[in-house]
Structure 1
Amino acid sequence: MAYTETTYRSWGSRMGGAFKGILTGLVMIALGTILLYWNEGRTVKTGGAINEARSVAVGAGDISKPDPALEGKVVYATGRADTQDVLEDPIFGAQAKAINIARKVEYYQWTEHSKQEKRKKLGGGEETVTTYTYTREWVNSPVDSNSFRDAEYQMRNKVLAQYTNETLYAPRVTFGAYKLPDFLKRAIGGAVPLDIQPDDEKKKELFEGLATGYKPVESIPVPAETLSPDMVSADTAASVVQERPQDRYVHAQGNVLYLGKNPGSPEVGDVRVTFTQVPPADVSIIAQVAGDTFEEFTASNGYTFSRLNMGTASMEKMFAGAESENTTMGWILRVVGTLVVVAGLGAVLRPLSVIADVIPIVGTIVGAGTGIVAFLLGVAWSLLVIAVAWIRFRPLLAGSLLGAAVVLMGLLYMKGRKNRAART
């Protein structure tokens, strides 16, 4: 059932908020500008580190034994990332000989969703109708239902137990005769399900850790009619056979451990824990040799570079992939920076539309106009910042573009003069 709240803000209150928003807008413009400028430097320097690593990288060849000649060199190598370490989850007991094992915890909870509809009023006021809806779903952390707007749904959430997500890494992961450092271990992917089968003692321990008040204290008899005649006679079944409470609340199936009565019909408060492992696998790496292990290559510009690909990948493919990721990240941050600047300008210009909202239709028109102005100014400012950054970080390219722009403007100017001369 939906729950709605209607709030009203006067024109004066909106004006005060809009003028306060100017400061926030200026901060956003500054942050977006800094991000745009920094990103151009990051993109150039990261690309420089990649190219520098490519220029000095050599093939490691046989990695079954250390090669002193490779000390301090950037090497490309392929081989198996392997380990003999058996990792065990300290709480649930899931274990495997793996690069890492991980647990992900989810809780079945009531969640609140809201949708707002704003209505402008004559005189500059604004009415906001907020509709709240509530659904039960699996979430990554317990939800405090006391903060729900609808009193009917408050105090509904509970949890049988609380745990944290955790990933355990093997202390020693070998790569031929070398050891992989943490930054390369964490780059290894290929997670697969890790089955869990807790023994009776572990089940009992987990059951006893459930929240008090949400579990039975005593074992519960199994009704005689649920037992087949060849198991036990109906006369003595209820007195002989007992169902342990942990078997009612602790369920393991595949790589999922379920805390609750019925995995097929979850109740609020149930907990679901999923386990995965990253088994030994073939990998390709580019990194700098440091004794019997590796470290990141530090380029002359101070930026670092290393890379790990799953499976067997050529050195050129790995460098090309690194360049592609750097370019993609550069464009993502350019878009993000531009949007931050546009949003900041929108906040700075917002008082104009609020002033015009005295007559709602006029305020809507002014708001649309200031939105367009904020977008155009934001894009123009972002391009200017990027251009300035290019002069700093890409002087040759920036000079070429500026030269081309000057030539183009000169041609347009000459064409304009010629057209005017022709008309006269």
Structure 2
Amino acid sequence: MYRQNFPEDPGMHNMADAGSSTRVTYRKNPNFIERIGSSLAGIVVGIALIGVSCYLTFWNEGRAVQTARSLEEGLKSVVTLGSAEVVFEENNGKLVHLSGPLQTDKFLFDDTYNVAVHAVKLRRSVDMFQWVEEERKREVNEGSQTREETTYSYSTEWKSELVRSSSFYNPNGHHNPESMRVSSQQQTAPDPHVGSFFLSSGLTGSITNYRKLNPQEKPKDVSVKLLDGVFYHSQDPMHPEVGDLRVTFEYAGRSGKESAKLGPPDVVSIVAKQQGHSLVHYQTNAGDSLEILYIGDLSAEEIFAKEQSQNAMLTWALRGAGWLLMFIGFSCMTSIVNTLVDWLPIVREIVNFGMATLNFSLSLSLSLSVIALGWIRYRPLLGVTILALAATPFVLSHLRRNKKKNRTA
């Protein structure tokens, strides 16, 4: 459960002799009346899930259209600057596009480990070698009751978060420290800029191209070991003990003059509003705020194409989430049918399959209907088309029933 596969990393090994413990519990199996009660409660839960799904799906369509329109508006109005070195007053308040190397005026440094880097961000990550608990469950139906066997096993590994050993099923011999002597942290340069333009906090936050830093200078604390660019608070990094620390550094937004160690500064492309010597968020008439940064030398058209692509992926992801919630909701509502026949093996399988098919069809049709209603508000022609597609299964089913009636008559 907690294991990570780093066989060559010091200390990343499992302790096979750590032992395990098993807990056995029993619970009474619900009778028919109790199962019916649970199914009735499931109807309420199902209705709530369907309501949440409808809201999420409808909201997502409005968000998608608003974002698409904001990006279209931005692409039409953006002004590409010929140079980032000169600030022209006539562009104040306008949406501008520029590219250039990142610059910062000061180094970021960590005195504790004698680390310094010319970058926009410096991140220190701390892991502690700790005990972790893995839980495995096995259930056995014994007629009127169910026996549940829970096996707890223990191993050691590097973890970035503190593992509370006091909550272990068997804490004896598996004790972790209650705190870390060194904490993780991140530093951000106060003055990142491209040419003569200073970046807002929003643009700075978009700089996430982290790379591992390989320090060569040993820290002031002689008890700390430096091995392959990683600092260890350990007597033996190759055989760590519980409570030992491992510290790594990463940087993002390489800046300043070209360095033999890090290489040339990162080139970024930005779309934002010019406000004096600052680049800040731009509010569109469509309703969205534009404040975009990408690593690399990209044209305005390429930036907006990437944003449209991300908008499409997010839209489909939320549509999928909305449909899944709706499917679960219908499954909860129809679970009472499965409960009524679950004592008949063959019938139960047929009914379960039929209910799953029905729930799939209902959730798909209702999702398409909600999507269509959302689009009718913004783009009526497309919305009506989607609504027609959603109604097609019901129309076909109605026509088939009428045809059978006519043949019988």
> What is the identity, as a one-letter code, of the residue corresponding to 1:379?
L
Give the CA deviation at 1:39: 0.9
Give the CA deviation at 1:77: 0.9
CA distance in 2, matches of 1:135, 1:20: 41
After superposing the two structures, state which structure 1 stretch, 159-168 or 355-364, moved more.
Answer: 355-364
Describe the superposition over 1:354-413 as per-residue Cα deviations: whole angstroms up to 9, x where unpaired: 565567887676555544444333333222221221222332311344578899999999
CA distance in 2, matches of 1:339, 1:146: 38
Is 2:118 aligned against 1:144? no
Aligned to 2:286, what secondary structure does the other structure show? coil
Give the CA deviation at 1:198: 7.0
- Per the alignment, residue 50 of structure 1 pairs with 71
- Per the alignment, residue 100 of structure 2 pairs with 79
- 2:206 maps to which of 184, 187, 193: 187
CA distance in 2, matches of 1:22, 1:344: 8
- 1:388 maps to which of 356, 362, 373: 373
CA distance in 2, matches of 1:403, 1:32: 21
Is 2:327 aligned against 1:327? no
- Per the alignment, residue 12 of structure 2 pairs with none
Give the CA deviation at 1:254: 4.6
Aligned to 1:99, what secondary structure does the other structure show? strand
- 2:184 maps to which of 154, 158, 165: 165
- Per the alignment, residue 134 of structure 2 pairs with 113
Describe the superposition over 1:265-321 as per-residue Cα deviations: whole angstroms up to 9, x where unpaired: 222222222111121111111111111111222111221123212121122111111
Is 2:265 aligned against 1:291? no
Normalization by structure 1: what TM-score?
Answer: 0.76
Give the CA deviation at 1:18: 5.2
Give the CA deviation at 1:156: 2.7
After superposing the two structures, state which structure 1 stretch, 52-61 or 378-387, moved more.
Answer: 378-387
> What is the identity, as a one-letter code, of the residue corresponding to 1:137?
E
Distance 1:353 1:137, change over 3 A: farther
CA distance in 1, matches of 2:359, 2:401: 31
CA distance in 2, matches of 1:372, 1:407: 16
Distance 1:262 1:404, change over 3 A: closer
Q: Contact 2:371 / 2:383 at 8 angstroms: preserved in 1? A: no
Give the CA deviation at 1:185: 1.3
Q: Contact 1:350 / 1:367 at 8 angstroms: preserved in 2? A: no
- Per the alignment, residue 375 of structure 1 pairs with 360
Q: Contact 1:159 / 1:270 at 8 angstroms: preserved in 2? A: no
Q: Contact 2:119 / 2:251 at 8 angstroms: preserved in 1? A: yes
- Structure 2 gap ranges (5+): 1-18, 256-265
- 1:308 maps to which of 286, 290, 293: 293
Give the CA deviation at 1:63: 1.5
Asked which structure has the greater CA Rg, the reply is 1
Give the CA deviation at 1:43: 0.9
CA distance in 2, matches of 1:158, 1:317: 50
CA RMSD, aligned part only? 3.8
CA distance in 2, matches of 1:133, 1:275: 32
CA distance in 1, matches of 2:35, 2:109: 57
Normalization by structure 2: what TM-score?
Answer: 0.78
Aligned length: 377
Distance 1:126 1:368, change over 3 A: farther
Give the CA deviation at 1:331: 0.7
CA distance in 2, matches of 1:87, 1:253: 22
Describe the superposition over 1:66-124 as per-residue Cα deviations: whole angstroms up to 9, x where unpaired: 1112111111111111101222337545332211101122222222233444445546x
- Per the alignment, residue 221 of structure 1 pairs with none
- Per the alignment, residue 195 of structure 2 pairs with 176
Aligned to 1:38, what secondary structure does the other structure show? helix
Give the CA deviation at 1:46: 0.7
Q: Contact 2:53 / 2:326 at 8 angstroms: preserved in 1? A: yes
Q: Contact 2:365 / 2:390 at 8 angstroms: preserved in 1? A: no
Distance 1:114 1:61, change over 3 A: same
After superposing the two structures, state which structure 1 stretch, 402-411 or 277-286, moved more.
Answer: 402-411
Is 2:61 aligned against 1:40? yes
Distance 1:354 1:305, change over 3 A: same
